[in-house]
Amino acid sequence: MPMCSLHASTMIFLLYWIFSSIHLCASDNRLVPGKPISPGSTIISDDGTFALGFFSPSNPKKHYYVGIWYNNIPKFTVVWVANRAAPITVPSSAVFTLTRSSNLTLSDGNGHVLWTTMAKSRISISSPRNTKNISTEAMLDNTGNLILRSLADNAIIWQSFDHPTDTLLPGMNLRLSHNTHPLQRLISWKDIRDPSPGPFSYGADPNNLLQRFIWHGSVPHRRSPVWNNYLLIGKYMNNLNSTIYMAINHDSDEVYMSFGMPTGPFSVLIRMKITYLGKVNMLGWQSNISAWTTLYSEPVHDCNIYGYC
């Protein structure tokens, strides 16, 4: 074979390998029909911040869950759990998949469905073997949001941000009121190693949407001052060299709460969480000590507890 032909063939092979590798890397944050994930495998957001997969918080490992956690820090920190009320007891054959009916589904080894999105969709998949006919995909966004969307019009069918567990992330809206959808609450874990729904929750007072409550079951545990109309609170955090803001927003259909911080060189990982002890903590990751630092916590002392003093 002439040397130039050999070089050309080698170049074509290398280009094919490079573009194939790019395609595989680009798909690492996506779940498509016919390609489920199982224990030991994950999908990772494009920027590497978040991962989705199977985990077990207990030791010894008896129960397994599908969840989202921070991928690039040494302390394992879960921010969302799918099957909180239905743990996997035999993980070896469990699968988390995007079905042909455009739903995310978690099944055990016996084929029992433990959790599903139950999303209503007008979308169908004509052939599971032909990727050109795949019309839905699930993507783990860089914000930590698991998004199920239509590839036809990019419409969101379902997203984990609409189904919070115990954690509020920047970019999430905690719905305090809506004309058609129910109110949302953060619901604590049962204890430090059990992500099943716990006794404490955090959300709006149904009688005054601009007042937030920590609830112990159905009993008020702590209430905030009433916020008037649109409110933006900004607090500078010395240990973060940045400002965290919290806002209650109105639009035509809903009232929602959100928080965040300016993006830039001082931007860090932050999250709001309700604990199984009934505290709402704002936490920031400090990479120099590899630990979460409490930036804000409520109730601050016992007299902040509803009816205590």
Distance between CA 54 and CA 292 in Å, rounded? 23
The domain boundary, picked from 131, 163, 195, lies at: 163
Measured between alpha carbons, how far is 95 from 244 in angstroms, rounded to an integer? 38
**33 contacts 98 by C-beta, under 8 angstroms:** yes
The predicted pLDDT at position 191 comes to 95
Cα distances from 102 to residues 32, 114, 257, in angstroms, run 10, 17, 30
Provide the pLDDT for residue 109: 79
Q: What is the domain extent for residue 120?
A: 30-163
Question: 228 and 304 share a domain?
Answer: yes
Q: Quick one: 203 and 140 in the same domain?
A: no
Q: Show the beta-strand stretches assigned E in 172-253.
A: 174-178, 186-191, 194-205, 208-216, 219-223, 231-237, 242-250
227 and 141 both lie in a single domain: no
- Would you state the pLDDT for residue 176? 72
Rounded Cα gap, residues 257 and 161, in angstroms: 13
Which residue type is seen at 139? M
Residue 135 in contact with residue 152, Cβ under 8 Å?
Answer: yes
Is the domain of 222 the same as that of 123? no
Distance, in Å, from the CA atom of 176 to the CA atom of 36, rounded to the nearest integer, reads 35
pLDDT value, residue 230: 47
Instruction: Supply the pTM of this predicted model.
Output: 0.82
User: Within a domain: residue 3?
Assistant: no
Specify the 3-state DSSP secondary structure of 85.
coil
Q: 299: cis peptide before it, omega within 30°?
A: yes
Final residue of a structural domain among 97, 129, 163: 163
Q: Which of 135, 163, 191 is where one domain is finished?
A: 163
Domain membership of residue 18 (yes or no) is no
Instruction: Tell me, yes or no, whether 216 and 281 share the same domain.
Output: yes
Verify that 140 and 70 share a domain, yes or no: yes
Dist. CA 239–CA 286, nearest whole Å:
8
Q: How many domains is the chain built from?
A: 2
Structural contact between residues 186 and 175, judged by C-beta atoms closer than 8 angstroms: no
pLDDT of residue 287: 86
- Position 150 in a domain: yes
Mean pLDDT in runs of 10 for the chain (309 residues)? Answer: 46 39 52 91 95 90 94 96 94 91 90 87 43 76 95 92 95 75 87 96 75 83 64 57 74 78 66 94 89 85 63
pLDDT of residue 127: 39
CATH code of the domain in which 143 resides: 2.90.10.10
Residue 45 has what pLDDT? 96
The helix/strand/coil state of 63 is: coil
